Amino acid sequence: MTADTYLAPKRLDEALEALRGGEATILAGGTDLMVQSQSGKTPIGPKLVNIRRIAGLAGVVRADGEIHIGALTTIAELLEHELVRTHLPSLAEACDHFASSQIRNAGTLGGNVCNASPAGDTLVPLLALGASVELAAKPDAAVTTRAMPLGEFIVGPGKTQRKPAELLTAIRIPVPAAGGVQRFFKFGTRPALDIAAISLGLVTVKEGGVLRHVRLALGAVAPVPMRGVRAESMLEGRRLDPALIEAAAAAARDEVRPISDVRASDWYRRELVRNMVKRMLTDVSQS
């Protein structure tokens, strides 16, 4: 018989002290944790630490050329936030296609990132936007923080570089260049409450018709959300034309590593990637 505890700290340092020594399960919105704990996929540890009451961990602000999103910001709050709608329309689009109204009202951005699903809806635009994560710990008297790119943070399905004593406190996104292009596309069989068969995010700048700083992210086509680096390098510094679009779409198809599962086969996902990258680039070429 274990002496299970439940903690709901109001301050970050209290939460970090509770995480020290491991054995803690972190609760935020609960929308993934409840399902995963009941199915046995994520058993709840001796300490259940509800971080929802920590002051200052929610909200979106702009500072030092970055948009700083607190880990506890809900998907609904992101969707409604002026800074997100103005500067991060691809993230807003992903939030709009995220599960249902009820889940958007409860689920947090930090939770979606730490859940590290290959099909996580916000991860694809975050990766395309060059987001990084901020982690805090309190190994002794002082709180320490570190940051790393999202692409390094997620290492496998449900696996991240977060150490048991660490808490993800924020997502930071460089403010995209004004006039830049952002696109997000999620393919599912129904509009709501669906897990993506594939998803795509594209962030680039179009200067006199030439693409610069191209970042293409792909979801649900590999163990982790991935960048389409071969397609990106083909597009970088080039003007979009039908032949280039066709070639870049084929490169993206060839560099993804999908599995076959209940939502789609490997072959179908690859063909979706090719066709949807083609459609997205064609749309960008005409805008």
Interface with another protein in residues 51-90 (CB under 8 A): 52-53, 76
Single residue of 5, 144, 260, 265 touching another protein by CB under 8 A: 5
Q: Which is nearer to another protein, 31 or 169 (CB)?
A: 31
**44 in contact with another protein (CB under 8 A):** yes
Single residue of 11, 86, 100, 156 touching another protein by CB under 8 A: 100
Minimum distance from residue 275 beta carbon to another protein (Å): 25
Amino acid at 42: T
Q: Which is nearer to another protein, 35 or 61 (CB)?
A: 35
Q: Which is nearer to another protein, 8 or 244 (CB)?
A: 8
Minimum distance from residue 238 beta carbon to another protein (Å): 38
Single residue of 14, 17, 34, 213 touching another protein by CB under 8 A: 34
**Residues binding another protein: what is the number (CB under 8 A)?**
32
Q: Which stretch binds another protein (CB under 8 A): 49-57, 127-135, 230-238, 263-271?
A: 49-57
**42 in contact with another protein (CB under 8 A):** no
Q: Which is nearer to another protein, 44 or 222 (CB)?
A: 44
3-state secondary structure the chain: CCCCEEECCCCHHHHHHHHCCCCEEEECCCHHHHHHHHHCCCCCCCEEEECCCCCCCCCEEEECCEEEEECCCEHHHHHHCHHHHHHCHHHHHHHHCCCCHHHHHHCEHHHHHHHCCCCCCCHHHHHHCCCEEEEEECCCCCCEEEEEEHHHHEEECCEECCCCCCEEEEEEEECCCCCCEEEEEEECCCCCCCCCCEEEEEEEEEECCEEEEEEEEEECCCCCCEECHHHHHHHCCCECCHHHHHHHHHHHHHHCCCCCCCCCCHHHHHHHHHHHHHHHHHHHHHC
Minimum distance from residue 43 beta carbon to another protein (Å): 10
Q: Residues interacting with another protein, by CB under 8 A?
A: 1-6, 8, 27, 29-31, 33-35, 37-38, 44, 48, 50, 52-53, 76, 99-103, 105-106, 191-193
